[in-house]
Amino acid sequence: MSEDKSMKKQQQKKNWAHLAGCDWSQLLQFQPRFADKCDWSKLDGEDWAMLLRRQPQFAEECDWEKFDGRHWMLLLRTRPEFADRCDWGKLDGGDWINLIAARPEFIDRCDWSKFDAHDIVMITRQCGKLGVPMAALHLDECDFSQLTASDWSQVLVLRPDLVDKFESIDRDWSKDDKVDDVEEILQDSL
């Protein structure tokens, strides 16, 4: 009888071993009681971000090194209490836009030098929707030389105070791609 129990227990362990990190994340989000069976090493950054959003009590098991900027953004949008563990240097411009949209309190931690032309246009366009005053955006820390003429037309509609930056740029604008309908693009942001 004892041998039968032992074989059954081995089979149970074997079955749990087939769950991938994403499976564990999904299962534990809704059934944390199975945590004692989890092989935590199987979870990647996204698995951890999704799990910790619902079950923050598993933070002590987390391998924070597995997080990239997107994972940090996903987690911090709903769980700002993990900010002290965040490697802010991993967030890119797109991650910052999404994080600030949900958590404007992180705007002062933003590394504006990571914003590319697309990010600068997007944060400028999204500003009203984000409920973040334009003055709070540290756009002066961004590299505006990467913006095309079309980018500038979108930025200046919303930030006419940046006209001096636009006028000070020395470049060959004829090499820029043109946007056909700037009005339609801007309509989305107003």
67 and 9 within one domain: yes
Residue where one domain finishes, among candidates 90, 125, 150: 90
Quick: pLDDT tens for 159-190.
Answer: 888 888 899 988 888 877 665 555 555 555 55
131 and 60 within one domain: no
Amino acid letter at 181?
D
Which residue range(s) make up the domain with 190? 113-190
In this prediction the pTM is: 0.80
The per-residue pLDDT for 135 is 59
Q: Which of 98-112, 137-151, 176-190 has the lowest mean pLDDT?
A: 176-190
Counting the structural domains of the chain, the total is 2
Rounded to an integer, what distance in angstroms lies between the CA atom of residue 136 and that of residue 158?
14
Rounded to an integer, what distance in angstroms lies between the CA atom of residue 109 and that of residue 105?
9
